[in-house]
Structures are given as C-alpha cells and as structure tokens.
Structure 1
C-alpha cells in the first residue's frame, strides 16, 4: 500500500520526500527515462550540443570585443552593458523554463528559445548604436538561458541517472568550448571581416537547430500531471504571479548590480530602491510559492542541504568564471597591447581543459558512483588557478604562462559544474529533476551577471582612482592632463596608440592596478567555491 501511494505521488508530480532519494525511489527513476532509437538520440543530443554551444559562445563572445565595440561606439563607461545585458536576461528568465517545459512540452519551449536567440543575434549584428546592441543582447539572453536549462532537463528525460554525469560532461564540453572559444570566434571575425559578423553568423546555425528540433524532438514526459490538458488549461495552470515576481525581482537586483557605482551612485535613492524592491520581491516570492499547490519553483527544495549548498557553489563559481573570461583578455589587451585575436588564442587551452574536466568528472562518477572527494579537489584546483591569474605581471609573462594560465580554472570549473548538477539531481525525486535543474541554472545565471557587474564596478572605480592618483604630480599643462585622463578612461587602446609619451606608462599602470583589483575578487570567489563544496552531501547513485 505504501509503495502504491509513493508511485501515485511520483506519477502526479508530487514529492514524497524533500530529502535524499531512497534506493527504492532510485529504482523507479532508473526506468523512467525515455528510450530512443540511436538515430533520434544522436540528433537530439546534437541539437542540445548546438544550443548549449551557442549560449556559452554568446556569454563570452564580447570578451575580446569590449575594447573594439567601446572604441567603435565611444561607450567605454557603459560598455559592461554589452556583456551584462545578455547575462541579465539569462538570470531573470532562466529559472522559469523548467516549469514551463513541464506545462507546454520540451519541444515547444526549445523552439521558442531558438527563435528568440536567433532574433537577438540578428539585432546585435545589425546594430549601429549601443541601445540596439544591448536590446539584441537582452533578447539573446532569454533564449540562451533557455538553451542551458533545457539541455540539462532533456538530458534527464533520455539518460539514466548513473549515466547522466557522463552525458552532462559531454554537454559541458560544448559549454566549455563555447565559452572558451567565444574570444577566438569574435577575434577571427574582427580581424578578417567585422565584429558584427560574430553575431550574424550565428543566425543560420539557429535555423538549422530549429529545424532539427521541430522534426525530431519528441519527449514523452508521462509523469507530468499537466500532460493531456488543453492549451487553455495549460495557460491557466501557469503560476503567473510567481513568475512575474521572480523575473522582476531578479531583474531589479541584477540591474542594481549593473548600474551601481557607475550610472547611479551607491548612496543614491535610485540604487537603494532597486535593492529594497528586489529583496522584498524575492521574499514575497518565497512565501507565496510555499503557500500554493503548483509553484513555478518549489522553494521547499532549498531546504535540502545539498540543493542549497550546490546552488551557492554554482552562484559564486559563475562569478569567478565569467569575471576571468571577460577581464583576463581585457588585461592582456589594455596592459600588454594584445590584439583581440591574440587574446582569443590564449583562451583555447582553457577551453580544452574545460572539455577534459567535464569528461573526467563524468567518467569518474560513472565508474565509482561517488563525487564528494572529487568535488573538493576540483574546487581547490579552481582556486589555485584563480591565484595564478592574480599573479599576472605588468611586465609581461612568458607565452607558455599566458597560454596555460586558464587551464586550472577551466578544468576545475567544468568538473565542479558537472559534479554539482549530479549532486542536486540525486537529492530529489524524478519528478523534480526539471525544477531543481532550473534552480541550479538560475543561480548560475544570476551569479554570472552579478559577477560581471561587480567586476566591472571594481574595474571602473579602481581605474578612475588609480588614473587620478598616477597623474597627480605630473608637471604638464593641467588642461592637457585632464584631456589625457578623459581619453584614457574611455579608450582602452589610447595608451598604445596616440597618448603622449609622458602619459603612456601611467595609463598602463592604472589599468594594471584596476585589473588586479578585479583578480582579487576572482580569488575571493574561488575561495567561496571551495568552502561551499564542503557542505554538499554524498548521495547514493544507483
């Protein structure tokens, strides 16, 4: 009788336990994934790989283009919006895709993501103003966030739990390669064509992915209680209140992180109101979701220690990773006068290391069905890599050092991401896999947005302060000095091109100090990743 009640609960989408799953539940889960023909399985995986690759590529495609776009559009003080706008919309919308895919189906939600992502790339590619560029990036971010979430969710539908680490490793390869090659990809188009082609070239790929998704992506999620309802009934079942409050609250907080200290002062009324309404919105969302029967995100899952600790680890790891991928190339270009293409080449070994890390973690979990010790070791490797980045010298490092500096960070990051998702999924019942996946990707996207915003705020403030301090005792015409400082603050290449001889070393020193302040933040977040991994429990993997 108890077994029948448990299976009924699983079939209706309700969880019988918010703790670690039992061996009996695991057995039920093990037979719940959908078996597909080899051809269809390969095509679906290819679609997931393409989508995740595009999402990761766009998260870092501007890493080596920031200085170029800033100089082209004369918008260095606001250039962080080109990067944060994409991550901002990812953060705001990503948490809802799990529930929406339960309601409308995996295919429909994936097709929507492909359409909106392609439209955003088109807008970015034809932009001649910062406003249109940012709008395109915002639209792309919605689709990119969906790509990441849906990739992990669909994988849960078609792969058994003990194999999931390996296949998640495969997906993470494409994510790691995409994020690692974003700079190379952009640098190539900047060198041989135009930076706008870095965005336009993605549109045909979206078309191919959309066609394959439409033809082959058929997932039978029989355990979803929404299955078989009419379209009107599906619309009515959406938790609109919770969805709007969640998106709005995250957007306000991420907006505060993005504009605080730059566009508006930290002590201004506007900044304080953004924080207050954002925090109040999240509190309202939390208690509201506890009170309803079918929440967009079951916040009760956060009471599970592994889910909560994994979410925090994802959050700070994303801060660490994206701060590195955006501002290490910036350091090379601003301080060492590397071209976008040269900086991109130096990111390639890191992308390879991320691929190796993902597969290594997946194979390790498949063989040993354990992950806790590996998680701790890989988080420490990531921390060591963060320290190496902080040790970068203003006088230049060897080519070998610059080519390998990202290897520890990217290897550790990819391994930790793979392990954490398996830890979270193994902590809940099968019917909650899509929802807990959305939680993880929600924390990852908010972390990446917040990390880039904080790093940008640190860079801008430190750059201004160091620039003013370095020129304080310069015995030149005050008007000339003021003009030099103004140009140096808005044009990254100014010191290496047209700056007066007396100012070049002072400008470069200011950029070096500012970048190393960002690298201190990188070390801090790496430390927090290692610390939070200690609180993730080891669950049984059947």
Structure 2
C-alpha cells in the first residue's frame, strides 16, 4: 500500500500544478509530454520488470522501482527547464513501471485466493484516497508554497516504503544461472514505445496519417514482429507468448484492456462535459469522477465473498453487467447534464469494475505458479495501460469529429453532443468487457500452492 501510494498520488498531484509549472519554466506547448512520457515509460517497462521478477525475485525489482521513482522525484524537483522536467518524468515513469505490477504480484504470492480480494480492496482504496488527496495537495503546493514540493513530498514516502519492504518482506532465492533475453527486451521496448507513442500523440502532436504517425506504427510493427520471432528461439524469453494460448490468460488480459478503455471514457471526458455544458467548477466536476474511485474499493473488498460462492467468471459477469448498465445510463443522460446524476452513475460504474478487476486478476494469478505469476500480472497491468492509451485516442477522435461536424464550435450544445458520442462509445466498450468476461473458462480455477522463489511454502503474510 505504501509503494502503491507513491504512484497513485503522482498520477493526480501534477495536474493541478501545471499552470504554476508553465509560469516558472515556460514552454506551454510541451507540457502534455509531462504526462505522455511518464505513461509511456511506465507501460513499456512493465513486461520487462515482470520477467525480471520471475527470474530474480520480486523484492529487488520493487526496491529498484522505488529507488528510480525517488531519483526521478528529486531530479524533477530541481528541474531547470521544461525539457529537463520531461526527461526526469521519464525516470519517474520507469520506477512506476516496476512498482505497479510488483505490488499486485507480491499480494498474489503471500495471500490465499480467499484473502486476496480483501487485500486488493486495500490497494484499490489507496487509489481512491489518492484521487482526492493528490489534486488537493497539488493545488496547495502550487498556491501556498512551490510546485517543486509536489515532487519533494515523494522523498519521505519513498524512504518509508523502501524501509518497510526491506524490513518486512522476505523471499528465498536459489542462485542459478539465467540466460537473459537481451534481444527480446530491446525489440519489445522499441516496439511498444513506438506504438504507444503513436497512439498517445496521434491526432494531438501530429495528424493520424502524417509521416511521424506512419513511422511510429511502422517501426513498432516491425520491432514487435522481430520480437515474436526472437521469442520462439529464446531459452528464457522475456515474454513467453505461449501463455496467451491459455484461455484464462487471454480472456483476463482482454478484460483488463476493456477496463482501461472504459475508465478513460469516464475519467477523461466527464469533467470537461460538466464544465463546458453547464459551467460546473473544476472542483465539483472532479468530485463527480471521485464517485467511480469510491465505488471501486467497496466492491473489490466484497468480491472475495462472492467469487468463493459463485466462481470467478460469474462474479466478473455480474460486475461487467453493472458497469455496462452504468455506462449505458451515462450515455442516455448525456443530453441532460447534472453533476449529481453523473456522480451516482460513476459510482455504479466503479462498483461494477471492482467486481471485475480484482476477481479477474486473482483468477489468473491463482492459475499459475511462482515462476509465471509476475509475467501474467504484468500482462494484466500492461493491458490496462494499453486500453487507457487507445481509449484516449479513440474517444478523442470521436469527440473531434463531432465538433468538426458542428463547424468547429465549442458551444455547450456541440460539447454535449460530442460527450454523448464518447459515452456511447464507452458503453460499447462495456459490451467488450462483458464479452471478454463471458470468454473466461467455466468452472473453478485450480489454485497453485503458495511457494516462494525457491519452491518452499510461502510464509505468513504478517
């Protein structure tokens, strides 16, 4: 929870401080890269860290992530230009890429299937609290102190998290030689970086059919094709593509992708929809989205009782239906903007997703042994990041086309129409979520015994 809190707060604390950062460093046109480079570095590094964790253990990987995040935070606090700040945000993103999957992998290692939903609820509550605390802290530091403190505040948090992990988390490793798949790691990094960069910046920094866009997707496709060829021959592949032949792994990965895309539709477009349509102040529009982050941990903490009774697949299907109903209600209510209605609907969507995210992750973790748990967890985390990135691109393109059809006007009526179209697309994403959940195998998941890296029974999580 401490380690997750680092990246959860950082995900929201910078947004409210952007005006102060731009006033100090200038280069307004570059500030979107503060977010893009962080997301890119985090998403690209997740599969690499996940394989390293299955090879060398979770503890060194998560401690390295905390260390990188600490280094990046200190450097960001001393940034002297927008370019330097963007570069140091990349270092932060590389740290976050280790922390996110390792926190969930460690939970899968040391807790039973019955216990994991409750613990995942604790982890989800960290995100919920951070979604409220982060923007408030960013605003306080920007207005009453210095925006650099939004990075310096990470220093004590990183040190406490590292101390707690070092002192309380123990794993036993059997030393043996490993053949590191350097070629696969390089090709995967290049391929993912190029494709995600193309998705993040297409339609923003450059047109979709421009030369930069074509180069990004072309290089990405070529690198990923080379990666697939290398992995077939690698002794210890960085990502064994064979795991996706397992129906449970493939279906839960699609579920995670759909979760990321649906989340983006709500969190990215609801605030603008309320602010432009009826003039809601930013603080209130942000609280509307907080309804989602409140519903999520409540249902996630209750999910364990449900999936132990009716199974993982049935729990995921119920949660998917609830989230789909919420997304459909959001689309239906779009012509009648009301912040309280949107807050209630966002709560319903979050409540449904809590019954999807935790059980689908726990199911796939339970189906594999220690040596694959990091990889399948990393695939789940990466799929959600990819879903968010692609969701932003698709929803943004839909909104821009509606606005362009309205002669480019940004009047309330046009923006309501554009937002409504985005919410319809989010409801379609809800259908994809439901279909992915229905593809999960029927029947119980055979749980692997809890063992550590050396194959010995795992110790008491306390």
TM-score range relative to shorter protein: 0.7 to 0.9
Q: Select the residue among 38, 47, 52 that pairs with 1:95.
A: 47
Q: CA 1:311–1:210 in 2, change beyond 3 Å: closer, same or farther?
A: same
Instruction: Specify the alignment match of 1:362 in structure 2.
Output: 304
Counterpart mapping for 1:65-464 below 5 A:
80-125=32-77, 130-179=82-131, 182-187=134-139, 189=141, 197-221=149-173, 227-229=174-176, 233=177, 237-365=179-307, 367-368=308-309, 370-391=311-332, 393=334, 396-397=337-338, 399-459=339-399, 462-463=402-403
Unaligned runs of 5+ residues in structure 2 are 448-462
Equivalent-residue separation in structure 2 for 1:188 and 1:363 (angstroms): 40
CA shift, 1:303, in A, is 0.2
Equivalent-residue separation in structure 1 for 2:131 and 2:155 (angstroms): 18
CA RMSD for the aligned pairs?
3.1
Equivalent-residue separation in structure 1 for 2:15 and 2:326 (angstroms): 19
CA shift, 1:68, in A, is 7.8
CA shift, 1:67, in A, is 7.8
Q: How many residue pairs end up in the alignment?
A: 446
CA shift, 1:309, in A, is 1.2
Contact 2:42 2:93 in 1 (8 A): yes
Contact 2:334 2:419 in 1 (8 A): no
Contact 1:370 1:541 in 2 (8 A): no
**Greater RCO, CA 8 A, separation 6+:** 1
CA shift, 1:518, in A, is 3.2
Unaligned runs of 5+ residues in structure 1 are 1-48, 222-226, 471-505
Q: Tell me the secondary structure at the aligned position of residue 347 of structure 1.
A: helix
Q: Tell me the secondary structure at the aligned position of residue 297 of structure 1.
A: coil
Equivalent-residue separation in structure 2 for 1:127 and 1:405 (angstroms): 40
Q: CA 1:453–1:532 in 2, change beyond 3 Å: closer, same or farther?
A: same
Contact 1:113 1:142 in 2 (8 A): yes
Instruction: Specify the alignment match of 1:483 in structure 2.
Output: none
Q: Tell me the secondary structure at the aligned position of residue 238 of structure 1.
A: coil
Q: Tell me the secondary structure at the aligned position of residue 381 of structure 2.
A: helix
- Give CA-to-partner distance per residue, 1:207-257, whole Å, 9 cap, x none: 221222233332125xxxxx314xxx55xx321111111111111000111
Contact 1:262 1:457 in 2 (8 A): no
Q: Tell me the secondary structure at the aligned position of residue 534 of structure 1.
A: helix
Q: Which moved more, 1:269-278 or 1:454-463?
A: 454-463
Equivalent-residue separation in structure 1 for 2:194 and 2:215 (angstroms): 9
Q: CA 1:324–1:197 in 2, change beyond 3 Å: closer, same or farther?
A: farther
Q: Which moved more, 1:255-264 or 1:154-163?
A: 154-163
- Give CA-to-partner distance per residue, 1:280-324, whole Å, 9 cap, x none: 222222232122221111111000011111111111211211332
Q: CA 1:297–1:107 in 2, change beyond 3 Å: closer, same or farther?
A: same
- Give CA-to-partner distance per residue, 1:100-128, whole Å, 9 cap, x none: 12333322211211122233334445557
Q: Is residue 534 from structure 1 mapped to residue 461 from structure 2 by the alignment?
A: no
Equivalent-residue separation in structure 1 for 2:192 and 2:358 (angstroms): 25
Instruction: Specify the alignment match of 1:500 in structure 2.
Output: none
Q: Tell me the secondary structure at the aligned position of residue 439 of structure 2.
A: coil
> Rg bigger for which structure?
1
TM-score (structure 2 length as normaliser): 0.85
Q: CA 1:330–1:269 in 2, change beyond 3 Å: closer, same or farther?
A: same
- Give CA-to-partner distance per residue, 1:144-194, whole Å, 9 cap, x none: 221111012212222234433332333233234435654455455556556
Q: Tell me the secondary structure at the aligned position of residue 418 of structure 1.
A: helix
TM-score (structure 1 length as normaliser): 0.73
Contact 2:72 2:91 in 1 (8 A): yes
